[in-house]
Structure 1
Amino acid sequence: MISVLLLATTLAVPVHAGPAVPASAPAVRAPVTVATSAALPQAADSSRTLRDARRAQEDFERFRETRIPAQVQRPDERGQGGRCDEPMGRLCLSYGVDGAPPSPIGATPRPIQDARRELLDKLAEAGAALPGDDWIVGQRVRYLVEAGDLLGAGAVAESCAGTPWWCSALDGLVYHEDDRWIEAGEAFLDALEAMPDRERERWQGESYLLERDGRRFLDVSDRGERDRRRALLWRLADPLYIIPGNDRWTAHMARLTQVRTMEDAWNPFGLAWDIDLEEVTLRYGWALGWERVRGQQSFQRLTQNAMVARLDPDRRRYLPTGPELLEFPATEDDALRVIDGRREPSGYSPTYAPVVDNLSSQTARFRRGSDMLVVHAFARVGMPGATMASASPSDAVDNANGDLPRDLATALFLLPVEGPIIEDGPQPARQGNELEGVWTVEVPNDTDRILSMEGYSRLERRAWRTRRGLERLPDPAGSVAVSDPIFLDAASLDLPETLDAALADVLPTVRFEAGRLVRIGWEVYGIPEGSSAAVALGIERAEQSLARRIGEFFRVLEPPQPVTIRWDDAPPESPGVVFRAVDLQLPALDAGRYDLFLEIRVDDAEPAVTRRRFVIEESGR
């Protein structure tokens, strides 16, 4: 039985599982030719060369199994003891003990390094004899990358004489491992364009990485629409736009390339390649190190030995969730967050910033003629998920690590939703060097956008970000329109009379404790001179638990009624833009998500209505 420990991330399988059954024919092979009688001796030599190369690769992996130091593992170590957090075919994922740091990944033992060099020498001889064989060149690149010899791997990939699309894929693998993500993206795009349709469909399948709603987002019959949605998925998954390229997508393509090199080859588990090994590789990447465990209890029996593959302990989820994809671009301020990858369907760790922290933020849109003024308040918090319910913007800043990195670069991106998967440095709307503030940017109100506020320190290999969808402001239903409502700090006794006066008080959060006093501001457009407006401001529950929905359906529970206040606003002194603000004591609401709704009605005209999602957090969180 196989177990995989993620976080302290491990894959384990009995070493003595019996001989591996050869996998199905690899997806990438050199074209088959029919030999004439004169070519038969040469064909026999080629067959012998390939057979010897395969035997050398198998011998190395068998040797690896025996030379990894064995250790006795007690049932309480790494959260195993026979526990399986997620079965996956013949494999088992075990996430380890929550809160416990992963044990260090040991260096590759010297005998294994020496044996790998010998294998690479034999594969080089086979490659010289069969320069067009896809399997041989794939193994050479695979083991050179594993050994950390990216220069050698690049030379082999560059001289590849096999199937053109496969050579491009190997180029992409090496470029990605060498942190050259623009070149990697171009190489993988070349490979996709050149490969047969059936093979391309296999390379463009993300089913292992997404939940049901995410798969439903991509499940459309029109190929053009499916390609557009796939491009959006990977644009949103890009960890940082401030870093050129899209390393999350090239990581996925590199993993697909690794899968192709291992499909028809011996692996350290001694198992035939199947969809379970493919799935774990595409979801989390291949092993960073190996261990061998004795005395590990499986679900059916006590094995004497088990191979353990250690995966990346710093992985995070960067792909959007299914609901975020289905709702995009109508997402919330705390959407598209970087998520701890322990229990997620996919994980990745950028080399330039192994951990990307989420920023707390609030974004609002205001009309400026045919343009849209975007107000974005942001700040970092003490830890992931920490509340800012009772903090002013300055109190929310995490000063635990002292001053900001001296090379910190920050940028606000407002990218059109439609765009390529790979971009060579998209232009930010604004740049700076702080992780707390209120930024304003005016952009044409002509398209939906991706908003991404990012900070990056190359020296400290740290990054911060907040990301969400930003819809264009809709055309007004009538003569009157209203902006997004925005939450302000209510410390000042005087209400601001303009948006400019309110900017310093914009809160970088939409998360509050029940009972908090908040100030809410908004702009109204198009109220005729001398006309008064009827204003309704209210709060209603945005989501309900299944138990409550069932209770309301059977009339066991009464549905919660919206909390609404109404008043008549005085006529403006002159027509145009009118800014209003009001202090609101949040009622004693249960923890959860709520909508603040605002309705402006002038005479018998169509009312202007807007909403903002916010969160009530548990007291003391």
Structure 2
Amino acid sequence: MFRLLLIGLVLFPLGPAYGAQSTERDSLNALADARGALRSHIRQLRRIRPSPGTPRIAREARPKVIRRLDDAGTVIPGNAWIVGHRIGLRVMQGELDQALAMAEVCRAEPWWCDALRGFVLHAREEFVEAESAFDASVDGMPADLHCEWLEELPRFLLGGESAREFRRLACPEQIEEERRVWWLADPLYLIAGNDRKTEHYARMVAMELHHQWLALEGSTCSPAHHEAQVKQGWPDWWWSVERTNRHLGDGSGYRFIARGLAGLNPLESVPGDWSLDGSSSAEWYDPPYGPIYPLEPQTAFFRRGDRFLAAVAVDIAGLELEADAIVDAALVLTREPDELHPGVREETSDGSRYLFEAMVPAEPHVLSIELLSSEDGAARGRFAHGLPGEPSEGLDLSDILLWDWSEGVNQEVDAVLPRMLGSSHVPADQEVGVFWELYGAAPGDAIDVSISAQPQDRGLLSRVTDLLRITSPPEGLRLEWSEGMSADEAPARGRTLALNLSQLRPGRYTLELQVSGESGDPVIRTKEIELYR
């Protein structure tokens, strides 16, 4: 557990006595009066049984304590303990303008002043400025203290192998790894600043102030209590009897710290690794723009020399967000903390879905598809995607792209993209267009092509009913054909067909495309789809 920074004034002196009439005795008396005022306030709150009236009682009691702390602050304005609680109580009181003004003229140790400024700015939802202030704080704090703060990550926020890998690193390496943790944990890349990161550091400041509250009564914070605060927000009810904003914990929220492959190797992760589901044992954070709903977009990559054309479509209809209230939408592709590639957004003519395109280096990327509403919250889908980094010898394929079939559409990606389906949920009662690009075929080559839709595992109950012949097992679909390459085709040969899936039962299927030439192994691409009626 990180040290009590200020109790006993070990790290921080009283601060210089400003003014001719300020003596060391005046400073000691001022500090004693401030501690006594806060101790009395804590005792008053502890005597109150939590009820709907508790916030009002606490709000009415705080101004008296704040005045006495302010009086002490005029005598010893450089004292870190006093300035911390003057600012902390004002944040609790909702006096964020006054708290920020006080943080801006803080005379304590610079790193602690930066931490308090970040604390206030986070409460004001000024996340860019808060992140900058916290970065300055950790850069300026004593090195051993920074290492202790870093230890909170593997102890409470990271899990499994991610925590073990973090602990194997020396402290200087952990500093770099922390950048990676917060890069992956950023809730929405389309919002400037990383509010999950600033939330964590705001909790650390709140916890330090809370430790000091407890020390005034001669008590300490239990490990379980400390863990809960770091994971889920502000501590005991007497500290958080009235929340002036939705940050610093409110008993529920979303888990943003990457887990599984998303944490260890994000470029190989799948959507499930980025689940936002928060449980009682996990870290969580409830952002001010929440709730955050899951997105299941359709994604397809196409080769363009040493680049990928990334195409993404997401349905707007059927979302919990009202389409008219969506104020921003973004596709962001990233491979490392300082590399964010935004996509170009378009909207279909009927307003039913958003389409995104981006040109990125021909390597796997983490994709984040994000929508932000002015009324209903936000939505996000995040996962890794990419074709093999180097084209295979001979034939190669793009991803499979599903589109709203229509006769007469050219077999070119630019013609198909405006009709790209916004998810892999496919209606079984109508034809669906399937598009792909073929690379590496020479004029005159004979190419064998097959496409199939095979049912995925249906679970124990479905298998039992099939076995007892209560239901018939689902059948798949397979088409095969051969074609020759003409001399006038472009190097990236677009192919499209209409697939009739009406004979298949609803459920999850694997769509598999396979091509092979006269020599060499077949090239295969797959896409998971779900049929519905």
Q: Is TM-score (shorter-chain normalized) higher than 0.5? A: yes
Instruction: Tell me, yes or no, if the aligned pair for 1:333 and 1:510 is still in contact at 8 Å.
Output: no
Equivalent residue runs for 1:424-463 within 5 Å:
428-431=342-345, 436-437=352-353, 439-458=355-374, 460=375, 462-463=377-378
Instruction: Say whether 1:164 aligns with 2:110.
Output: yes
Equivalent residue runs for 1:11-50 within 5 Å:
26-28=4-6, 29=9, 31=11, 46-50=27-31
Shift of 1:227: 4.6
Distance 1:410 1:291, change over 3 A: closer
Residue 468 of structure 2: aligned partner: none
Aligned AA (1:379): D
Residue 417 of structure 2: aligned partner: 503
SS in 1 for 2:122: helix
Aligned AA (2:368): S
SS in 2 for 1:603: coil
Count of residue correspondences: 500
Shift of 1:596: 4.1
Shift of 1:315: 2.3
Shift of 1:467: 2.7
Equivalent residue runs for 1:318-357 within 5 Å:
318-332=256-270, 336-339=274-277, 341=278, 343=280, 345-351=282-288, 353-357=289-293
Residue among 199, 202, 213 paired with 1:254: 202
TM-score (norm 2): 0.79
Distance 1:534 1:219, change over 3 A: farther
Aligned AA (1:456): L
Instruction: Tell me, yes or no, if the aligned pair for 1:217 and 1:229 is still in contact at 8 Å.
Output: no
Residue among 38, 45, 63 paired with 2:44: 63
Instruction: Tell me, yes or no, if the aligned pair for 1:171 and 1:187 is still in contact at 8 Å.
Output: yes
Residue 140 of structure 2: aligned partner: 194
Q: Could you give the per-residue CA deviations for residues 220-274 of structure 1, whole angstroms, max 9, x where no partner exists? A: 5366765554333322322222221111111111111111111122399996313
Q: Distance in 1 between matches of 2:368 and 2:347?
A: 15
Distance 1:147 1:168, change over 3 A: same
Q: Could you give the per-residue CA deviations for residues 51-84 of structure 1, whole angstroms, max 9, x where no partner exists? A: 44333222111211334565xxxxxxxxxxxxxx
More helix by share: 2
Aligned AA (2:106): C
Q: Distance in 2 between matches of 1:361 and 1:563?
A: 24
Residue 479 of structure 1: aligned partner: 394
Instruction: Say whether 1:413 aligns with 2:413.
Output: no
Q: Distance in 2 between matches of 1:590 and 1:269?
A: 64
Residue among 535, 540, 549 paired with 2:449: 535
Residue 184 of structure 2: aligned partner: 236
Instruction: Say whether 1:360 aligns with 2:338.
Output: no
TM-score (norm 1): 0.69
Instruction: Tell me, yes or no, if the aligned pair for 1:512 and 1:616 is still in contact at 8 Å.
Output: yes
Instruction: Tell me, yes or no, if the aligned pair for 1:232 and 1:417 is still in contact at 8 Å.
Output: no
Residue 6 of structure 1: aligned partner: none
Q: Distance in 2 between matches of 1:252 and 1:237?
A: 11
Shift of 1:606: 4.5
SS in 1 for 2:484: coil
Q: Percent of aligned pairs with the same residue?
A: 26
Q: Could you give the per-residue CA deviations for residues 146-180 of structure 1, whole angstroms, max 9, x where no partner exists? A: 00111221122222222221111111101111121
Residue 315 of structure 1: aligned partner: 253
Shift of 1:193: 0.8
Shift of 1:182: 1.3
Shift of 1:465: 3.1
Residue among 466, 472, 483 paired with 1:570: 483
Q: Could you give the per-residue CA deviations for residues 437-465 of structure 1, whole angstroms, max 9, x where no partner exists? A: 3525241425543433333344x363333
Distance 1:380 1:152, change over 3 A: same
Instruction: Tell me, yes or no, if the aligned pair for 1:599 and 1:608 is still in contact at 8 Å.
Output: yes
Aligned AA (2:336): E
Larger RCO, structure (CA 8 Å, separation 6 or more): 1
Instruction: Tell me, yes or no, if the aligned pair for 2:310 and 2:360 is still in contact at 8 Å.
Output: no
Q: Distance in 1 between matches of 2:477 and 2:133?
A: 57
Q: Distance in 2 between matches of 1:383 and 1:183?
A: 32
Q: Which runs of 5+ in 1 are unaligned?
A: 1-22, 36-40, 71-105, 293-309, 385-397, 547-559
Q: Distance in 2 between matches of 1:289 and 1:145?
A: 15
Q: Distance in 1 between matches of 2:118 and 2:394?
A: 55
Q: Could you give the per-residue CA deviations for residues 487-541 of structure 1, whole angstroms, max 9, x where no partner exists? A: 3345x57786333343344222224699997543211111111111233445678
Distance 1:377 1:139, change over 3 A: same
Q: Could you give the per-residue CA deviations for residues 589-617 of structure 1, whole angstroms, max 9, x where no partner exists? A: 9967x6544332222235433343x2658
Which shows bigger deviation, 511-520 or 132-141? 511-520
